[in-house]
Chains A and B, each alone.
Chain A
Amino acid sequence: MNKYILAFSLTLLFGQYDYSLEDINATSPFYGQNVGTSTFSGQVTLHYFGHYN
């Protein structure tokens, strides 16, 4: 329940431009954690959308 409340609050705060997805890069310091725009609140963020085969 708390997760849903937190997600809802973050949505309200960041609106459309946020997400919460698992970091699957093993060399990333956030590997295995969910990240999104709100994870890096207070920082400049670059979000690249692409898919690869």
Chain B
Amino acid sequence: MYEGLLNDGYNNVKLVGIGKAQHMSSLANWTSSNDASVCADASDNNTWSQWGAGQRELFVLDHLGNVVLEQNITSGLPSNLEELIIQLLNEMPDCDPDLFCGEAITCWDDGLLYPTTCGPENCDESIGLCSDCNPDLICGGALTCVNGLLYPTTCGPDNCDEPIDTCGDEECVDGEVNNENPCNPMECYDGQWFEIVIDCAEQMGIPCGGGVYVSPPEGVCCSTCVQFGDVNGDNALNVTDIVQIINIILSDGYNEVADVNQDGGVNVVDVVVIVNILLNGLP
């Protein structure tokens, strides 16, 4: 049976025969055509005593050294002995704790992080997922394509950002521009899309002196600094603006550009201020 197990590839099972030193005359009976270890207990038979073994007694130990079977086999081997041994072999871990490994955290094929370069093969437990991200990473503010997904920063997924789009799937023509998002236009260079950085004055904190930032129209990214009173946005204060302000007053409407004195309402006081500016210039 032992040789049968070895022939079937079960190499992690060892058979040892323990005899008594005073009965060693027919050693060949035990060693003919097999390479199992054979030992002779010294004349005091201390090992036999320690194990509580009797003549023709078989002990089966698991990989941890625990006795799982102790049986006298004078009448023959247990019928389920081979099955028991195979079961014990299948319970053995597939790892070797004595492997020499590099001391470096390693992402293994199973998607888990391990403390050494051996991964799980030295019986180490995983210390986390390979995909663990760090939201506190310092990243550059540029769209970055990682594994076909577009991320908002240069850290890609490493700072736990969700992808905002796919990328890299199609090549583009050099010089081609994509303005679908006017605040993130893309330009093609060397077959790849790259983000064009738009710096808007309002977002950069540049004050709009004597005016107010007006939201951009569709297709435009940045707001525009418009002088108070320049309701038509033509960069000039004139009677046309006054007419529009009066129309706003008559319609009981509101326009932040027309609210020259910034009192939360558009009324005749705003008209008076603009007229004074036109007549006397800006204060």
Contact = CB atoms under 8 A, between A and B. Distances in A.
B279 interface: no
A46 B13 contact: yes
A37 B65 contact: yes
B37 A49 contact: no
B30 A49 contact: no
B204 interface: no
B2 A46 contact: yes
Contact of B60 (A16, A28, A46, A53): A46
B24 to A, nearest CB: 8
Interface in B1-30: 2, 12-20, 22-27, 29-30
Interface string B44-58: 000110110111111
Interface residues of B, number: 51
Contacts of A49: 18-19, 48, 51, 53-59
A8 interface: no
A15 to B, nearest CB: 8
Contacts, number: 144
Contact of A52 (B29, B36, B42): B29
A46 B36 CA distance: 10
A37 B61 contact: yes
B203 interface: no
B31 A26 contact: yes
B196 interface: no
Interface residues of A, number: 34
A52 B29 CA distance: 8
Interface string A8-39: 00000111111101111111111000010110
B37 A28 contact: yes
B34 A48 contact: no
A47 B16 contact: yes
A41 interface: yes
B40 interface: yes
Given A18-B65, A21-B47, A43 B14 contact: yes
15 contacts: A16-B50, A25-B30, A28-B38, A44-B88, A46-B2, A46-B60, A48-B15, A48-B17, A48-B56, A49-B19, A49-B57, A51-B20, A52-B24, A52-B30, A53-B26
